[in-house]
Amino acid sequence: MYSFKNDYSEGAHPQILSALMETNLEQENGYGEDRFSQEAIEQLKQRLGRTDLDIHLLTGGTQTNLIAISAFLRPHEAAIAANTGHIATHETGAIEAVGHKVVTIETADGKLTAQHIHTVLEAHTDEHMVKPKLVYISNSTEIGSIYKKQELEQLREVCDKNHLILFMDGARLGSALCSYENDLELSDLPSLVDAFYIGGTKNGALIGEALVIGKESLKEDFRYHMKQKGALLAKGRLLGIQFLELFRSNLFFELAAHANTMADIMRKGISEADIPFLIHSPSNQLFPILPNDLITELQKDYAFLIWEKIDSDHSAIRLVTSWATKEEAVLAFVQDVKRTVVKPVAQHLKNV
C-alpha cells in the first residue's frame, strides 16, 4: 500500500535530521533567540533580497494564518478568501475564534482576482457590515492551481488602492514556485504581497513555516502575538535548524521540484489514458476523474482521498506527491491506471 494522501506522510528530509543530530548538545537561547533561527532568518533575507523584512518561524499553517490575521486586523475587519481557502474551510473556525469574519467568494480555480475584491468591497458599505481589510490567497492553492506574476500584480494594485492587506498562505509555496507554469521568483514576493509564508512542513521539514512580513505597519510587536497564541517554542532551535538546512543550499527548491516531477509523471500518464481532470493543477496535487470501479481497484494498492462525487459512475480523487514520493510508486500507479482503463476495451475487442 503506497500513500498519495498528502505531502506530510513521511518525516523530514534526512539532511534535516542530521543537522538536528549534529547541533543537538550546543546550548542555545530559547524562544527563537538561538543562533540557528537567527542565521536562518538572515539567510532568508538574503534569498529574498531585502534586509527590511521581519521573519518569524512558526510550526504550522493554521497557526501561522491565525496569528498573522489576528495581529494584522482590528476587531471589525474581515478577511476575504476563496471558498476553497484553507482559512474558510479547514481550520475549524480558527479565524472566527480570534474574532474575524472570513468573507468567501465562489471560484472555479481557487484563485482570487481583482474583480472578486471589487465585488466584495461594493457589497460592504457601512458599519452594519464587517470591513473587508485583508485578502487571503494561497499559492499553490488548496486545489493545486498557482498564481502567475501578472495576477498578483493586479491583486497588489486593487489592494493598494483600497488599503487592503495582501496575505499569501505559502504552505505549498515550494511546489508553486517550481511548477512548469510558474513565472515568479521567491524574491518577487516581498514586493507583491504584504506578508506571506514559506511552508516547510509540506516540503521536507518536520514542522515549520517561515512568515515574512514586508509591510512596515504589520511588523510591530509580532512576537507578542506568537507567544500569546502558544507559538513561541521553548526550543525554537528546532525551527531554525530546519530552515537553515532547507535554504543553506537549494534543498528547499530541489525537494519541491522532485514533488512536482512526480506529479508531472502522473499527470502525463493519466492524461494518456484519456482521463480528464477536475481542475487544472500544475503543482503537486492532481484531481483526476475516475470511474468508481477503477477507484475501487486502485484502492487495493494505493491510498488517496476521494475528493468529490462527479456522477453516479465517476468521482474525482486527490493525488498528492511530495519530496519523499518514490518514482517507482508513481510509475506503478500510472501503469495500473493505464492497464485498468485499457483492459475493458481490449476485452471488448476479443469478444468481437
> Could you give the CA distance from residue 151 to residue 149 in angstroms, rounded to a whole number?
5
Map the footprint of a second copy across residues 261-300, applying CB under 8 A. none
- Out of 56, 156, 225, 318, name the contact with a second copy by CB under 8 A: 225
Q: Which stretch binds a second copy (CB under 8 A): 27-35, 107-115, 186-194, 251-259?
A: 27-35
Map the footprint of a second copy across residues 245-264, applying CB under 8 A. none
Map the footprint of a second copy across residues 319-348, applying CB under 8 A. 324
**Strand-strand pairing, 165-169 and 131-138:** parallel
In the chain, DSSP finds a helix count (H) and a strand count (E) of 14, 13
3-state secondary structure of 168: strand
- Out of 42, 96, 185, 272, name the contact with a second copy by CB under 8 A: 96
Nearest CB to a second copy, comparing residues 123 and 346 = 123
226 binds a second copy (CB under 8 A): yes
> Could you give the CA distance from residue 283 to residue 267 in angstroms, rounded to a whole number?
10
Nearest CB to a second copy, comparing residues 100 and 111 = 100
- Contact between 341 and 275 under an 8 Å Cβ cutoff? The reply is yes
> Could you give the CA distance from residue 162 to residue 312 in angstroms, rounded to a whole number?
46
Q: Cis omega before residue 140 (within 30°)?
A: yes
- Out of 15, 38, 43, 89, name the contact with a second copy by CB under 8 A: 89
101 binds a second copy (CB under 8 A): yes
- Out of 149, 216, 230, 250, name the contact with a second copy by CB under 8 A: 230
Residue 90, H or E segment: none
- Contact between 69 and 94 under an 8 Å Cβ cutoff? The reply is no
The residues pairing with 211 across neighbouring beta strands, listed in sequence order, are 56, 197
Cα distances from 320 to residues 13, 156, 197, 245, 291, in angstroms, run 17, 30, 21, 24, 19
- Out of 35, 45, 47, 131, name the contact with a second copy by CB under 8 A: 131
217 binds a second copy (CB under 8 A): no
- Out of 53, 114, 121, 130, name the contact with a second copy by CB under 8 A: 130
44 binds a second copy (CB under 8 A): no
Nearest CB to a second copy, comparing residues 31 and 253 = 31
